[in-house]
Structure 1
Amino acid sequence: MAVRNILLVTASILGENGQSRALATHFKAQLGARDDIQLTERDVVSLDLPHLDGAEMASWMTAPDERDAAQHELAARSETLIEEVLAHDLIVLAVPLYNLGIPSQLKAWFDRILRAGKTFKYTENGPVGLIEGKRALVLAARGGQYAGTAMDTQTGHVSSLLGLIGIRDIDWIYAEGLNMGEGVRDQAMGEARQAVANYTSERL
């Protein structure tokens, strides 16, 4: 599938000082001045989305022509973000690992993206994704080394979240051991940057 529109989602609470943000910046740099690709950036931390609550979920379940003003505003949070995902061919997630999970801000974003009846549906055989023809790339930055171990709960979680809505063509690039000494960090980031360069030259 040709990639024309890329959505780059960042989620570091450290902003420009985050290692996942550094990988995102490197990804952007690899695109250079390619005029065949349009890049949209979305920092979910700056979105300041609240935790999903019952009132917002109720707004989704209310027919648009029956919503009051407050419900229209609540539903718009989700609908705007879903439209943004639908408008892009490749979703790139720059994801730090916080306490073996994803940042709560990224979870709040996913909570608006994953909507029954909108981006997936329930069937007698289980949930089925409604988003087709899209790919994802996850740039995972981690202080320890977890990939391939039972403590890596993040890979399965994020893959399942994306898979729920139909995005199953997912590539992962890991930078691990970033808090395990300068040598380990430099090697890990170097290998991750090279993997990003390979991805952009071979997959885009």
Structure 2
Amino acid sequence: MNILQVNSSARAFANGAGSFSTRLANELVQRLRDAEPQATLTLRDLNLAPHPALDESTLQALFTPAEARTPEQAARVALDDALIAEIQAADVVVLGVPTYNFGVSSQLKHWIDAIARARVTFQYTEKGPEGLLKNKTVYAVLTRGGVHRDQPSDTVVPYLKTMLGFLGMTDVRFIYAEGLAMGPEAEARAVADAQAQIAQLVHDTETV
């Protein structure tokens, strides 16, 4: 089993402090590796190594034939190629997903923009779009200051379901840690509840 972990918090994570999404994603990955000792891990931390945004120069590079690209264009496309290769090789994807202003972080959005490439990770057919990143399990660890699960204010889950499904990743499992900004007791409950969800998901995976 090849695991790809993508941390997308803007907050650093050191000595167990900082980002809740990274902390809980780490715990999930550790449980998966305990259950599958031969599993390999690729870690992509978008805070430590931010990925550039999709801008006009990037689009020009992507739409220029490879043999005609300038060295600068080739280098820019190579950054996206590396992310695509990582997710193509993954069997399991663990996403640390903090909620910022009712959406995903810009770090995660840049990663999604990078891996969504026509004729590589998706294609259009006579029957409509087809995702090419198939046969993967995605765990999305969602952390929120408030409580938004199953509410109109939760735009993150629909977006991830739509975007990941478009790319062929339809087995998406969500872990919720909500109320993290609602006081120490609420924070402790949120973390404990997320840890229980993680334990149950890994247990369910082992017994399938």
TM range (shorter): over 0.9
1:160 Cα deviation (Å)? 1.3
1:202 Cα deviation (Å)? 2.5
The Cα offsets for residues 99-147 of structure 1, whole Å up to 9 and x where unpaired, read as 0001101111111001112111123443221122111110001000001
User: Which residue of the other structure, out of 170, 173, 176, is the alignment partner of 2:175?
Assistant: 173
1:94 Cα deviation (Å)? 0.8
Task: Name the counterpart of 1:72.
Answer: 74
1:90 Cα deviation (Å)? 0.7
Task: Give the counterpart letter for 1:154 in structure 2.
Answer: V
Change over 3 Å in CA distance of 1:33–1:134 after alignment to 2: closer
Task: Give the counterpart letter for 2:170 in structure 1.
Answer: R
Task: Name the counterpart of 2:202.
Answer: 200
Task: Name the counterpart of 2:8.
Answer: 11
Range moving further from structure 2, 47-56 or 102-111 = 47-56
Task: Name the counterpart of 1:132.
Answer: 134
Task: Name the counterpart of 2:24.
Answer: 23
CA separation in 1, counterparts of 2:166 and 2:106?
Answer: 19
Task: Give the counterpart letter for 2:65 in structure 1.
Answer: A
Q: Across the two proteins, how many residue pairs are aligned to each other?
A: 201
Q: Percent identity?
A: 35
SS in 2 for 1:9: strand
User: Which residue of the other structure, out of 154, 160, 163, is the alignment partner of 1:161?
Assistant: 163
CA separation in 2, counterparts of 1:88 and 1:102?
Answer: 22
Residue 154 of structure 2 corresponds to residue 152 of structure 1: yes
CA separation in 1, counterparts of 2:98 and 2:185?
Answer: 20
1:15 Cα deviation (Å)? 1.5
Range moving further from structure 2, 19-28 or 119-128 = 119-128
CA separation in 1, counterparts of 2:122 and 2:26?
Answer: 31
1:183 Cα deviation (Å)? 1.6
The Cα offsets for residues 7-31 of structure 1, whole Å up to 9 and x where unpaired, read as 0111111121111112012213323
Aligned pairs for 1:108-127 (under 5 A) are 108-127=110-129
Range moving further from structure 2, 27-36 or 71-80 = 27-36
CA separation in 2, counterparts of 1:131 and 1:34?
Answer: 22
SS in 2 for 1:50: coil
SS in 2 for 1:47: coil
The Cα offsets for residues 154-204 of structure 1, whole Å up to 9 and x where unpaired, read as 101111111111001100010101111222211121011011122223315
1:5 Cα deviation (Å)? 0.6
CA separation in 2, counterparts of 1:21 and 1:107?
Answer: 16
Residue 108 of structure 2 corresponds to residue 102 of structure 1: no
Task: Give the counterpart letter for 1:91 in structure 2.
Answer: V
Task: Name the counterpart of 1:43.
Answer: 45
CA separation in 2, counterparts of 1:129 and 1:25?
Answer: 28
Change over 3 Å in CA distance of 1:63–1:103 after alignment to 2: same
CA RMSD of the aligned region, Å?
A: 1.5
